[in-house]
Amino acid sequence: MKTFSMKTDALTGENYLEVYLHGQQLVTDPFLNKASAYSEEERLNLGLAGLLRPAISGIDEQRQRSYEMYKRKHDEIEKYIFLQGLLNRNETLFYNLLCNNLIEMLPIVYTPTVGKACLMLSHITREYRGIYITPDNIGNIDKIFQGISLPDVYLIVVTDGERILGLGDLGSDGMGIPVGKINLYVAAGGLHPAGCLPISLDVGTNNENLLNDPLYLGYKKKRLEGKEYDEFIERFVLGVKRNFPDALLQWEDFAKHKAFKLLERYRDRILSFNDDIQGTGSVALSALITAMRIKKQKFSEQKFLIVGMGQAGFGISSNIQNMLVEEGLSKEEAASKIFAYDVCGLLLEDTPGLTENQKRFAQKRSSVADWKLESNDSISLLDIIRNGKVSVLIGVTASSGLFNSEILTQMAKNDERPVIFALSNPTSKSECTPEEIVKATNGKGLFAMGSPFSQFELLGKKFVTSQCNNLYIFPGVGLGALVSRSTRITTKMFLKASKAISDLVTEEQCNENMLLPDLNNIRNVSFHVAKAVAIEARDSGLGRLLSNEEYDRVIKKAQWEPQYYPFRSGIK
């Protein structure tokens, strides 16, 4: 049952919510709970008289009170539990608090704390959020979707929990990721939470710890695989298309072999994208564009080494290749400048067992024939960096300390201003630390990390670490695609998004070696990303035919501010 509708008074132009709940039901609905902020008129007309303490306090006072309680929590998980509790009690207040303290709370609502929370989600769950689709209820998917109380659904973030961050198969405990992603869509992009739906496709788990945990709340069977899995996904997608035909579907934290297949199978059938592949690749490209501005060089003058050729590694490699092609290289020439390294070592044309995506970046055997190697048995990372004259090193391996001092020092020998991205998260999985890069490169290295690292002082200078956070990309891409009513999301849209982000890095920030804009201005970043995506959608024949100025107006209006609306009763 829909619990409210968004309305505009035809006489006064006032925006208000028409609500279909009264009394106690109203204050226990997270979308409609205003706690002490209900006006006297609302208290009388909506059956709230006597249910609330007499003082009326607005959202600013409520935020102050909530922040005081938040600061009393000295453990990251306890802070996470507190914020999720607030979200489940009062969505508007939660987002008001988050938007006003985004940099402080970002590591709590998302990486790295959300990973820790997912590891114990069945043990800390207080209330359910979102929708859980299982093999037992997939046949009732239309009833499930029709029973959702949201007035409209235009964004779905979905995971099957098989590859949660760098933590692996967490089953339906992975639901913390879609919930966290939607928190960021709202806080950073401005999407209204009443249109956002997190979904867990709980198809089982192969994690024995979960299967043997009596407190695990998920579907306690081995994972669906093969044809059964494909049929399950197909039924899910068809259910989304029937019930939410205009919604954007974001695939999140699927296993590598499934993620690529799902992206290719559905990218033209439903408005969708995969943030782990396309979002990570796009934000990394944005940081690289800024790095080239600082170096005053082109992409075609670099040699790239991507360590870890899963979803993120492939997405980054593809974006670099696209940029090289834009500079005039052929796809083959562009691929020859990218060394790809995975668990099997350097990807070569005759390496057995490569996926089709990995084959795109496999080097010819002849290109390494004259290399001088540390051992004839294998080609190490150091071998590649030395012989390939690598100037850009990017890690997405979740292997802590992989980029040791010898590797970092060699990068400094190869290039006066080497570019080094250690993008694995959470922080404990980072391939190296910013301090290690600064020491090895004598402060000359340009670096970005996948997790948040504090500002530090070394060699008599202060260093700020750019966090290559997908937050720069996905909220704006989603907003732009929805506002433009695009029928699909294309590679060019992500390329335009990358450039839009890099354009926001000021010359002053470049002088401080910052590769990405300040996250404090993330709403503005999302606006510019959304505009770039919407204009590309329009120009490619996929989106609404609005002028640039009209898109300015429409996108700004679409960015919801977490403030309370007036309520009017919809019960006749």
pLDDT of residue 175: 97
Q: Region 241-246: what's the mean pLDDT?
A: 96
Is residue 355 within 8 A of residue 260, CB to CB? The reply is yes
pLDDT of residue 425: 77
Query: Looking at the DSSP assignment, which residues form a beta bridge with residue 346?
Result: 341
- Over residues 73-91, mean pLDDT: 96
Banded model confidence at residue 201, pLDDT cuts 50, 70, 90: very high
Under the banding of pLDDT at 50, 70 and 90, the label for residue 572 is confident
Q: Of residues 110, 154, 185, 266, which has the active-site annotation?
A: 110
Mean residue pLDDT of the chain comes to 95
Both tokens of 513, joined, read 């070696």
Judge whether residue 41 has pLDDT over 80. yes
The answer on pLDDT for 9 being more than 80 is: yes
Q: Tens digit of pLDDT for each residue in 452-495?
A: 888 888 888 999 999 999 999 999 999 999 999 999 999 999 99
Instruction: Give the C-alpha separation, 340 to 384, whole Å.
Output: 10
Above 90 in pLDDT, residue 429? no
| pLDDT range class, residue 432, cuts 50, 70, 90 | very high
The position carrying tokens 């619990």 is 3
Is 472 assigned a catalytic role? no
Tell me what pLDDT residue 459 has: 87
Please say if the pLDDT value at position 70 is more than 90: yes
**How far apart, in Å, do the first and last CA atoms of the chain sit?**
16
- Of 209, 208, 206, 182, whose CA–CA distance to 193 is shortest? 182
Look at residue 393 and tell me whether its pLDDT is greater than 80. yes
The answer for residues whose C-beta is within 8 angstroms of residue 301's C-beta and 6 or more apart is: none
85 in helix, strand or coil? helix
The reply to whether 110 belongs to the active site is: yes
Determine the longest span between alpha carbons in the chain, in angstroms.
84
Tens of pLDDT, residues 396-412: 998 999 999 999 999 99
Binning pLDDT at 50, 70 and 90, where does residue 340 land? very high
Q: Does residue 427 surpass a pLDDT of 90?
A: no
pLDDT at 376 over 90: no
The pLDDT value recorded for residue 360 is 93
pLDDT in the model for residue 379:
93
* CB-count burial class (<10 Å; 0-12, 13-18, 19+) for 344: middle
Give residue 428's pLDDT.
Answer: 81
Please pick, among 116, 181, 337, 496, the residue that the annotation labels catalytic.
181
Enumerate domains of the chain plus CATH numbers.
23-89 (1.20.1370.30), 101-270 (3.40.50.10380), 278-468 (3.40.50.720), 472-558 (3.40.50.10380)
Residue pair 363/334 in contact (Cβ under 8 Å)? The answer is no
The pTM of the full predicted model, rounded to 2 decimals, is 0.93
Q: Percent of the chain, pLDDT > 90?
A: 87
User: Can you tell me the distance from the alpha carbon of 348 to that of 277, in angstroms, rounded to the nearest whole number?
Assistant: 22
Omega within 30 of 0 (cis) for the link into 135 = no
pLDDT exceeds 80 at position 214: yes
Which two three-digit tokens encode residue 476? 């704006």
Measured at the alpha carbon of residue 221, what is the angle toward residues 217 and 222, in degrees to the nearest 5?
125
- φ/ψ region of 11 (left if φ > 0, alpha if ψ in -120 to 50, else beta) reads alpha
Q: Which pLDDT band holds residue 207 (cuts at 50, 70, 90)? A: very high
Residue with tokens 């490699």: 317
- Smallest CA-to-CA distance from 176 within 135, 137, 129 is with 129
Residues facing residue 198 across a β-bridge: 157
Identify the CA nearest to 478 among candidates 103, 154, 174, 180: 154
Cis peptide before 426 (omega within 30 of 0): yes
Question: Which residue intervals of 275-380 are DSSP H helices?
Answer: 280-295, 311-326, 331-336, 356-359
